[in-house]
């Protein structure tokens, strides 16, 4: 199956981390975002970063920067929409999204999402674990971008309400450890560093 474009969602406000770009915090020899890019790059055709504000702060990454096209920090779905619109302009049928603050997600994430989507007219799949759905990790169809924009303009913000509306599926990830551990606070960053060191 053809690898889709990958969109890293980094459009949030990072209030629990004290503001700024969580993904740029140091982790090991690089940054959180650097680990995300490394994990994603082998699974997708190319990568873009959904982020708001001054795009020049990401110049070193040499990635397309996609700001939300819905105003007011409308949450992850706004980043998904920005990715869908960008990918549709390139002729892509789907995108995969990952969160910029989750450096240990599975290295076969995309393949497993695509496998769960087999037979769907509009492939729409969220990763899920025993703790529930992971709404920033998903496979999304560009064909539904206009519907998503309309839903956002109507005030919808909760990812699963929109995916359920379109009979989205789930791909179960019961991998050992915490593959979807995300760094929200300074304490989480300390834990992430320990998790990284345990794998070296």
Note whether residue 29 is domain-resident: yes
Question: What mean pLDDT comes out for the span 119-128?
Answer: 97
Please name the residue ranges forming H helices in 136-183. Answer: 145-153, 159-165
What rounded mean pLDDT belongs to the chain? Answer: 93
Summarised one tens digit per residue, pLDDT across range 167-198 is 999 999 998 889 999 999 999 999 999 999 98
- pLDDT of 18 > 60? The answer is no
Measured distance CA(117)–CA(150) in Å, rounded: 24
Comparing 35 with 16, the larger pLDDT belongs to 35
Measured distance CA(79)–CA(73) in Å, rounded: 9
- pLDDT of 15 > 60? The answer is no
Note whether residue 140 is domain-resident: yes
Residue 22 is predicted with a pLDDT of 84
- pLDDT of 11 > 90? The answer is no
Which CATH number fits the domain that encloses residue 100?
3.90.550.10
Residue 20 is predicted with a pLDDT of 62
Note whether residue 124 is domain-resident: yes
Domain carrying residue 178: 6-199
Note whether residue 46 is domain-resident: yes
- pLDDT of 81 > 50? The answer is yes
How many domains in the chain?
1
Note whether residue 1 is domain-resident: no
Measured distance CA(168)–CA(166) in Å, rounded: 6
Note whether residue 14 is domain-resident: yes
Radius of gyration of the chain (CA): 16
Note whether residue 129 is domain-resident: yes
Note whether residue 172 is domain-resident: yes
Question: What mean pLDDT comes out for the span 49-53?
Answer: 93
Exposed (0-12), middle (13-18) or buried (19+): which is 174, by Cβ within 10 Å?
Answer: exposed
- pLDDT of 88 > 70? The answer is yes
Phi then psi for residue 17, to 5 deg, are -100, 5
Measured distance CA(182)–CA(32) in Å, rounded: 10
Q: How confident is the model at residue 166 (pLDDT cuts 50, 70, 90)?
A: very high
pLDDT over 90 for what percent of the chain?
85
Q: How confident is the model at residue 17 (pLDDT cuts 50, 70, 90)?
A: very low
Phi then psi for residue 83, to 5 deg, are -65, -40
Per-position DSSP letters for 107-148, written without gaps between them: TTHHHHHHHHTTT-SS--EEEEETTEEEEEEEEEEGGGHHHH
Measured distance CA(164)–CA(64) in Å, rounded: 30
Summarised one tens digit per residue, pLDDT across range 90-114 is 999 999 999 999 999 999 999 999 9
Measured distance CA(126)–CA(113) in Å, rounded: 7
Question: What mean pLDDT comes out for the span 137-160?
Answer: 97
pLDDT over 70 for what percent of the chain?
95
Comparing 1 with 65, the larger pLDDT belongs to 65
């Amino acid at each position: 199956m053809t690898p889709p474009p990958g969109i890293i969602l980094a459009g949030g406000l990072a209030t629990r981390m004290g503001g700024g770009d969580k993904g740029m915090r140091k982790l090991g020899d690089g940054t959180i975002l650097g680990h995300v890019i490394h994990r994603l790059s082998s699974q997708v055709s190319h990568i873009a970063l959904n982020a708001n504000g001054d795009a020049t702060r990401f110049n070193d990454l040499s990635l397309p920067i996609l700001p939300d096209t819905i105003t007011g920090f409308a949450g992850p779905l706004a980043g998904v929409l920005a990715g869908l619109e960008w990918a549709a302009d390139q002729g892509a049928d789907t995108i995969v999204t990952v969160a910029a603050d989750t450096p240990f997600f599975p290295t076969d994430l995309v393949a497993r999402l695509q496998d769960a989507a087999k037979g769907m007219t509009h492939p729409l799949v969220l990763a899920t674990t025993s703790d529930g759905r992971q709404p920033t990790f998903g496979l999304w169809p560009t064909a539904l971008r206009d519907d998503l924009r309309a839903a956002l303009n109507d005030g919808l913000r909760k990812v699963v309400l929109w995916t359920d509306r379109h009979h989205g599926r789930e791909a179960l990830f019961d991998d050992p450890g915490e593959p979807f551990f995300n760094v929200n606070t300074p304490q989480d960053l300390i834990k992430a560093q320990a998790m990284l060191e345990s794998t070296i």
